[in-house]
Amino acid sequence: MKKRKAEAGWVYTILLLFSVIVLLLVILFSTDAFDSGYKNHVRTFGGGWILPNGEAANISDLHPRDHGGIVDVKRKLPGVLTDADCLCFESRNANITVYLDDREIYSFTSNENLTGLGYGNAFHQVQLGREDGGHMIRVTFWGVRRGFGRILSAYLAPATDYYQMNVLSRVLPAVISLSIIAIGLTMLIIFLQIPDKENMPFNILSLSMVAVVIGSWLLVDTNLMTLLIGRVYFWRALNRLLVLLVGYPCVSFVNSITEQKRDIYLHLAFLENVLIFCTILGLRFFAGVDMMITFSYGVGVMISLSLILTLVCIIDNELYCRSNGIVSRVRSFYPGMIALIICATLDVALFLIRVMWTDSYGIFSRFGLALFVLMSLVQFLRWWTRDRKTIARDRFINRALQYTVSSNSSEESIRSMLDFMGKELHAGRIGIFEEQGNGKYRGTYEWFPEGGCSAGLDLIYLPYEGMVEDLRKTFDANNHNLIINDPEDYRLIHPSLYNLLMANHIKSIVAGPLESKGRLLGVLTFLDVPAEVREETAEIITLISYFLTQLINQREEQKRLRRYSYMDSLTGAQNRRAFNEYIRDGLDLSSAFGYITCNLKGLEETNRKKGYEAGDRMVVSVVDCLKEVFGEGKVYRMSGSEFSAFGFETDETFFHADVQRVVRLMHEKELQVDTGSVFCAFGSMGMERVINQVHAQMREAR
């Protein structure tokens, strides 16, 4: 039933979409959307202007720098005009005065603005009337700065027809620019909807910013907004300042699609962007240099430096991928990059040979950028929507996460989750190694199939330096996971890990970090997983690690709350009540363990002569020494001056080395203690016998 409802929903959606498309096409071709009747009312008025020397010229070919800094031309109006006719023209950075029979009827003078004296492009309509037919009209214009300023075109037409002509001539580049902005905003919305932004395939926020900024700049460059809305100086500021902000997000995006992500490229790109932006603004406001002069240089430097950084980043990544046997994801973006470079090259060529189809630039670049951004969006949507295999994996994750709330006990939730994943993935074994607070990681959870036996992961210690540290580097370089299909591959590059795998008869392993706020809490390992699901298992570890980390944190919080009744408030060590409960319910007497007891001498005398604060410092120092060696959770204050600790080394030599280390630390702190220790290599029949043996050692040592 649900399947039929889903199919019906798709059918209705497709029919409605088809109806919308048909309706839009009917409206476009059956109304005045493409009406070209305005052309009958627009007359070109650019040629035939007379210079003071009697020469005739096209007004768009005249530059003030060629005429002593000011152009003064005149032309006779047609004999027949209507009251709707206007002299319509477009100017660029020119101050203009229009006379009719030596009577001033219009003037436009640039005002100083955020970018300087330049205003870019502006559109003018000088109202004429029926009675003005046959009269002489004179136009005087000069650059807002020496050498700048011109009139681009001139027409006689009603203002509405002039607007329509210019709008239609700019529709295509404007639509492309708006499409780029729309794609950028779509990516921004998608970015905001994704909860786990750490696992995105690339920095979609940077790409979104690139699309919105460049799309907006290209839209402004069409001059369509100036034509429709006016506000010349507002659009001028956007035109000059927007593009100066695009260098950093471009490099940031490229860096995000590489396998080797280096922060140095981000730092350099941001510094370059800030320096260029501040330099141009500084020259404008402190040195009085107009942005008409500095803008092209600033953009050229920014594009050049950003392109150099991008190329270095890509080459560096290709070398890294080649040396590590990794397939570079950047290659999937090459077609879009090549298309964009070709289109940009065409625009540069058109600019250099002074071929202009409109009064704006970037005709081809718009197509190239739209194509590149669209291709990037498609790649992102492929990742975001996922295929059936990924959906099945997500369902698996959802089912696994149900175990996070299946019990009030975090311990039980973790074990239930491991049991579910182990059975579903047909793993040979699952283990979690957690930080012990003493530079070592010990096995804390183990799952194995029914009928199997424990491999004693709780007895395995992984030292941080040399093993866990190397594992973490491997995680960082491989999308936060590690897949070992054959231990022999690690014989030379990671001998300690190889020896661990061989010693425990492990044929393959999939592992990932359990991290919280940048701190490595532990390592999740799947042993002997079938080859066909190892990649999927690695992805599952990446997704499930957050929830396992939360359960571990929740478990520790529960322990902290419980410790208030089991903890000595002065030292933070556990008290005798906790000790008795541990040896009754928590200690595995059948496994190897070590036990040490220390008795602090001179405590009462210190309390009497130096005060209780001095005595308290001695007590805290003893506990600190024991914690430093044996870890936070295995130290107990048995009485005022007696302390005990457990050590779970796999070899007696290691345990006695820890004991000697404790004695040495206490000696360095000038603490006098009686010490006794026992290592039970094969477990013990009872803890009482172990305690008596330790106390006997202490009596003999006195």
368 pLDDT tier (thresholds 50, 70, 90): confident
Residue 338 CB coordination number (10 Å)? 12
Residue 461 resides in a domain: yes
Mean pLDDT of 661-680: 90
632 pLDDT tier (thresholds 50, 70, 90): confident
Residue 385 has a pLDDT of 64
Same domain? For 238 and 374 the reply is yes
**pLDDT over 70 percentage in the chain:** 92
Same domain? For 132 and 152 the reply is yes
Same domain? For 489 and 474 the reply is yes
Residue 26 resides in a domain: no
Mean pLDDT of 5-14: 61
In the chain, the number of structural domains is 4
Residue 603 resides in a domain: yes
pLDDT tens per residue, range 565-621: 788 888 888 898 889 988 888 888 888 899 999 999 888 888 888 898 988 999 999
Question: CA nearest 516: which of 555, 553, 477?
Answer: 553
Which carries the bigger pLDDT value, residue 22 or residue 548?
548
The CATH number of whichever domain residue 138 belongs to comes to 2.60.120.260
- Quote the domain boundaries for residue 96: 41-168
Same domain? For 201 and 121 the reply is no
Question: CA nearest 439: which of 620, 628, 624, 595?
Answer: 628
Residue 359 has a pLDDT of 61
Q: Vertex 484, ends 478 and 489: CA angle to 5°?
A: 105
Which carries the bigger pLDDT value, residue 68 or residue 455?
68
Residue 669 backbone phi and psi in degrees, to 5: -90, 10
Same domain? For 469 and 545 the reply is yes
pLDDT(89) > 60: yes
Residue 356 has a pLDDT of 46
| Radius of gyration in angstroms for the set of CA atoms belonging to the chain, rounded to a whole number | 39
Residue 243 has a pLDDT of 87
Same domain? For 483 and 582 the reply is no
Question: CA nearest 92: which of 54, 132, 64?
Answer: 64
Q: What is the dihedral of CA 456, 462, 467, 470, to 10 degrees?
A: 100
pLDDT tens per residue, range 120-160: 899 999 999 999 999 999 999 999 987 678 998 899 999 98
Structure token digits, residue 481: 């996971």
Q: Vertex 69, ends 67 and 71: CA angle to 5°?
A: 55
Residue 34 resides in a domain: no
pLDDT tens per residue, range 296-331: 888 889 888 988 999 999 999 889 888 887 888 788
- Residue type at 3? K
pLDDT(1) > 80: no
Please tell me whether residue 108 adopts helix, strand or coil conformation: strand
* Cα distance between residue 246 and residue 298, in whole Å: 12
Question: CA nearest 593: which of 658, 497, 661, 662?
Answer: 658
**Last residue within a domain, chosen from 504, 526, 561:** 561
Please tell me whether residue 368 adopts helix, strand or coil conformation: helix
DSSP bridge partners of 440: 463
Mean pLDDT of 16-20: 78
Mean pLDDT of the residues in the chain: 85
pLDDT(361) > 70: no
Same domain? For 555 and 591 the reply is no
273 pLDDT tier (thresholds 50, 70, 90): very high
**pLDDT over 90 percentage in the chain:** 25
